Amino acid sequence: MKKLLALPNVQLLLALVALVLFYPFLERLQSGRLAVIAFDWAILALALRSASSTGVQTRLGYALLIPTIILQALGALTGAGWIYVTVMLFQAALHGFVIVCLFRYVLHDEVMTLDELFAAGSLYAMLAFVFAYLYSIVEYLWPGAFYINAGNNPDGIFSWFEMLYFSFTCLTSVGFGEITPVSDHARSLVMIQQLIGVLYLAIVISRLISMHSRRMR
């Protein structure tokens, strides 16, 4: 068990799942915003560590990580809108960089190790996070790009967590629930995410079947 928890991608996947589970509780606390930011920094550090473990140079990762941390701190202090959009862009870029590193790691050889298996899971979850950041940008720049029925959104405010929930809905292709894209910008992103989600699952499943067939032969 200790060896399993020591794997970089196991830690990353557990951190992503923990953020999803604890976010609703942290959001309600008086200091919840700071706790979420600290949690997010931990995830970014784990994500960059997972990318480093793949053998890929991480200078670009650090170039994205440092501004993200600084801007998040400034955004928490000032609440400026342009900082919010910039942080979302840096978050999406950093998560995208890690996704590329993990994807290369998963496909780089003909043996699927346990860490690579968890890397595939982390990659899939991080895809949802990337598009959640992009959806948040779209909703901020074009208010009303997404619609939530009043019964499920009494305060009329879109939060990042709602965008994350919507992103997982699109990625897993389970269909739209109470949140639907309204503007063309939102629908374009949704179509891209749905395409990526389906292709990713097809690639990973076909690779696992191919590796199993080689092993049987």
Task: Write out pLDDT tens, residues 108-124.
Answer: 767 777 888 888 889 89
Q: How confident is the model at residue 213 (pLDDT cuts 50, 70, 90)?
A: low
- Is residue 152 very low, low, confident or very high in pLDDT (cuts 50, 70, 90)? confident
pLDDT value at 5 more than 80: no
Q: How confident is the model at residue 195, as a pLDDT?
A: 92
pTM over 0.75: yes
Per-residue confidence (pLDDT) for residue 46, from 0 to 100 = 85
Q: If pLDDT is split at 50, 70 and 90, which confidence band does 62 have?
A: confident
Phi, psi of 180 (to 5 degrees): -135, 145
Angle at the Cα of 54 from the Cα atoms of 49 and 57, rounded to 5 degrees = 80
For residue 13, pLDDT over 80 is answered with yes
- The kind and range of the H/E element at 109 are none
Domain layout of the chain by residue ranges: 2-216
Mean pLDDT of 19-26: 88
pLDDT classification of 164: cutoffs 50, 70, 90: very high
Could you give the C-alpha distances from 20 to 10, 72, 93, 162, 196, in angstroms and in order? 16, 19, 20, 11, 22
Looking at the predicted structure, is the pLDDT value of residue 16 above 70? yes
Mean pLDDT of 55-67: 77
E-only strand ranges, the chain: 146-148, 179-181
Determine the average pLDDT of the residues in 186-215: 82
pLDDT tens column, 166-184: 999 999 877 777 888 999 9
